[in-house]
Amino acid sequence: MTGTPEFGRGSGLFRRKPVEEIADEGATDLNRTLGLWQLTAIGVGGIIGAGIFALAGAVAHETAGPAVLISFLLAGIASAAAALSYAEFAGMIPKAGSAYTYGYVVLGEIVGWFIGWDLLLEYIAIVAVVAIGISGYFSFLMAEIGVHLPAWMLGAPGTGDGHVVDLFAALLCLLIALLLNRGIRAAARVETGVVALKVAVVLLVIVVGFFHVKAGNYRPFFPFGVGGAITGAATVFFAVFGYDAMSTAAEESRDARRHLPRAIIYSLAVSMVLYVLATLVLTGMQNYREVDPESGFSTAFASVGLSGLADVIAVGAIIGILTVMFTFMLGVTRVWYAMSRDGLLPAWFAKLHPVRRVPSRVTWIAGGASAVIAGFLPIREAAELTNIGILLAFVVVCVAVIVLRYRRPELPRTFRLPGMPVIPALGVVFSLWLITFLAPVTWLRFAVWFVLGMVVYLGYSRRHSLLNSAERETE
């Protein structure tokens, strides 16, 4: 390590965590068990699934038409710029918390707080959105085999006649919380196996679907205008964002400095290729007006007489999308744990299971919160709880990587982002641009959460922060 401790740099709202203190990869209370391919699997598991199986159909049908392909490309470009920024930080600061920790170190406590606070809601909402998407495929599969479930348990209030709760979606959230509480080693093994199955299903969709593509279905390519494709990009943005949640597991990686940057890049590259090919097949097989918003690929294959394959896809989707829930629930629990360990939230939340060494308390709380959202909100409303905070996290990380590169050029970096400062600046521009296309109700809900966060920070976090205690000791 180089330099001198940074306590005292910045003050008040903008006091910063010392880089030297947290750049040490050694000591941690969590178990270091994850290797490169397990980390990559967690990243791919978080990226592939939500976009293909849960939102691709909805965006194609309602927002972008065949230009859903452009939506994913735009989101991918913005995401790639941020991914490279995350990769540089991951190789330099191998600690839990990801964007929260990076913002805290470079831009100050108030910035780190709000990114962490936003990600708590965003990640929980993503878990809920994906659970609702899986539930849609589950209902389709049950109907295909002649099992008709009671209407009251098939969806949130207002989504259909007699719907009271999306029971299957809520139970899935609790199931993922149970899996994560079994310990990171066991959970990662399950995740890696299921990711392999999911990639196989996506490849099956692409290869078989290619032979049923009709060029006429691509016309008009922009039925909702170019603006529709851009709005679609903002909607599906979190579907190309799983590497951030994966990077929160830095303290559970056996060699975070070397493995995390590579896992981030590998997972995004693999996922974007599969996304582009899959959306091309979906809108080529079926006119966008006929695409089912909830189980797009299954109904598309059923429409061309491949009902048996549609059932296989539905089963693969149900199993495969579970990995997205796993990755983002892992992310929210590790961000929550890091914030509590830093004193910004009560230390009670940072308590680890004495044997499995996982933050079991916050895992069950996150599981319960996502279950409530999944059970009682339609997928579109649940999705509107996401995206602004994630986009702002991208902005913070891209700005922070520029600032730290010039403020502390001597710090050891196992990965150096190329094209500095152009690439991270592009990440900032793309993210801010996509934010402007989000719905007003998304802004309103974000504003409410932001105000609540300010109350919590001023009423509790600012005074209980470990940096605040350190400042008092030096006075």
Contact between residue 218 and residue 283 where contact means Cβ atoms under 8 Å apart: yes
Averaged pLDDT, 220-241: 84
Estimate to the nearest angstrom the gap between the alpha carbon of 252 and the chain centroid. 18
Contact 13, 108 (CB under 8 A): yes
Report if residue 168 sits inside a domain.
yes
Q: Is residue 3 part of a domain?
A: no
Domain for residue 473, yes or no? no
Give yes or no for residue 2 having a pLDDT over 60.
no
State yes or no: pLDDT of 386 exceeds 80. no
Over residues 377-382, the mean pLDDT reads 78
Q: pLDDT of 421-471, one tens digit each?
A: 999 999 899 888 878 877 787 888 888 999 999 999 999 999 999 888 766
Rounded to an integer, what distance in angstroms lies between the CA atom of residue 101 and that of residue 47?
A: 21
pLDDT in tens, 36-67: 999 999 899 888 865 676 678 888 988 899 99
Domain-located, residue 7: no
What are 170-224's pLDDT values in tens digits? Answer: 999 999 999 999 888 888 888 888 888 888 888 988 999 999 999 999 999 999 9
Q: Are 24 and 251 in contact, with CB atoms under 8 Å apart? A: no
Range of the domain at 184: 17-24+32-467
pTM of the predicted structure, to 2 decimals: 0.84
CA angle 202, 203, 208 (to 5 degrees): 105
Most confident of 46-60, 254-268, 378-392: 254-268
Band the pLDDT of 138: cuts 50, 70, 90: confident
317: Cβ contacts below 8 Å, ≥ 6 apart: 49, 53, 133, 134, 137, 201, 295, 297, 298
Structural domain total, the chain:
1
Give 12's DSSP letter.
G
Question: Does residue 4 lie in a domain region?
Answer: no
Q: How many residues does the chain have?
A: 475
Phi, psi of 419 (to 5 degrees): 70, 25
CATH number, residue 361: 1.20.1740.10
Q: How confident is the model at residue 3 (pLDDT cuts 50, 70, 90)?
A: very low
